[in-house]
Structure 1
Amino acid sequence: MATEESVQVTRYKYSVAWSAEDDEYLATVAEFPSLSWLAESQATALSGMLGLVRSAVADLSRAGEEVPSPFATRVYSGNIRLRVSPQKHRDLTIKASEQGVSLNRYLNELL
């Protein structure tokens, strides 16, 4: 049976892509941007990265440091605060008005 720690590790956001520079597959994980793993196959790259993340999580836990929670299990409010210059704010408000929508809706459509 999987431990809570290993289940969490499998819920992180992994990516495996070909690296022309390294001539191998490169595995990364979004929650730990400083970690990567190179291998000759996609499956081996992912497997190596899972092991590396398990080790990193164990090290952080032993040291009493915070272990990042997976993006997939985090709670999001749906609110994003963004600071722009007053000029940019005015320009966006004008464009939203020209479209006949609120600034919030206009920005949502841009995103």
Structure 2
Amino acid sequence: MTWTPIGSLSDIPPRGARCVATPQGKIAVFRTADDQVYAIDDHCPHKGGPLSQGIVHGAAVTCPLHNWVVSLETGKALGADEGSVRTIPVRIEGEQLFIALEALVSKAA
């Protein structure tokens, strides 16, 4: 697997996110309160809202448009809502963050 550097852990505040543009679309990279890092597509499965602008709580994010809650671990909508987004593997080496862009290509095929 090829890992692409996307910045450092300190670039993302605890319970925050940043958006990374890739050839396969925008990826939202999240940091939880306990420094876990997750990457998912930056669009809600409901109406395409920007998940990177949502509120992080635990290992989930709430979409800023219609309050859908999406698991950062599985990419699936939680509660009574249905739908999912792609999850992208993330690796942390020291402070550096990396994502596996090839996972996006294989999931899109």
> Relative to total residues, which structure has the larger helix share, 1 or 2?
1
> Relative to total residues, which structure has the larger strand share, 1 or 2?
2
- Structure with the bigger RCO (C-alpha within 8 Å, sep 6+) is 2
TM-score, reference length from structure 1 = 0.26
